[in-house]
Chains A and B, each alone.
Chain A
Amino acid sequence: MAVQPLYLVDRSSKRVADLDVHRDGERYRGTIRLEATPPSLRAIFNEFEELVEGQVFSLMDEIDGKIASELLKVVFTDGTEESLDDLQVYPSTGRVSFMTRCAAIVTPPAPALRVDDAGNGRQFGDLESVGIAK
């Protein structure tokens, strides 16, 4: 029987969330239980969900960086640990998906755009939701 992910641990190996996931291609998908999640980490997951559902895509790299900086790992049924890549947690629905570092596709980071990069005296307006209207 293949080993399955059981739970997530933080950088001090403290258990921070329980998983019920299955392998789907290169990702694991399923549900996550956050009862043991520290408030600070829970806040990051909440922020991720709010940005995604609110279509604030300009801040995706920033929130993904926050999640990555937590250095969470997944622990499997056989006791082995692997680093995570592209962890997506939706606290309101309990949905989770992630890749493990060995299965992750490595892509170079996208260039960051800043207001100064716009040139010609232009500034970005704050209009994120135009592309998808309800």
Chain B
Amino acid sequence: MLKSSSPSQAAINIRKALEDATDLHEAAKTIGSITIELVRSVGFDVMPNPSKRIPNHHRIVHPDGIAGFSEENLARLSDVFTNTTGN
């Protein structure tokens, strides 16, 4: 996931970093967004995972590691995302 000021800004970031990635650009028309506080409210956390190409890349982590990514926990996480289209 990208840490950004808005879903549309995240879409701009990804299109600029990888300008010829057609499938990715299509996928980025719909962005699932969430605040870090909401991620933490359902037991997950966010860690920076920058690369040269995408310096604002982050990963969602769980204190229990892979075991924390159970169907039940992922459903709770999914529920706090908001999708926006047309980005």
Give B5 Cβ to nearest chain A Cβ, in Å. 14
Using a Cβ–Cβ cut-off of 8 Å, how many residues does chain B contribute to the interface with A? Answer: 41
Q: In this assembly, does B86 line the interface, its C-beta being within 8 Å of a C-beta of chain A?
A: no
Query: Is A125 an interface residue, CB under 8 A from the partner?
Result: yes
**Segment of A10-18, A36-44, A51-59 engaged in the interface with chain B:** A51-59
Task: For the complex, give the distance between the alpha carbons of A109 and B55 in Å.
Answer: 10
Q: List 20 A-B contacts (CB under 8 A).
A: A53-B22, A55-B24, A57-B49, A60-B57, A61-B51, A64-B53, A86-B53, A88-B20, A90-B20, A93-B20, A97-B20, A110-B52, A124-B47, A125-B62, A126-B66, A127-B69, A130-B77, A132-B10, A132-B27, A134-B30
Query: How many pairs of A and B residues are in contact by the CB < 8 Å rule?
Result: 118
Contact with A122, one of B10, B21, B24, B63 (Cβ below 8 angstroms): B63
Which residues of A pack against B, CB within 8 Å? Answer: 29, 49, 52-53, 55, 57-58, 60-61, 64, 86, 88, 90, 93, 95-97, 107, 109-111, 113, 118, 120-128, 130-134
Q: What is the minimal beta-carbon distance from B32 to any residue of chain A, in angstroms?
A: 4
Q: Which residues on the A side are within 8 Å of B22 (C-beta)? A: 53, 90, 93, 95
Residues of B within 8 A of A58 (CB): 49, 51, 57, 59
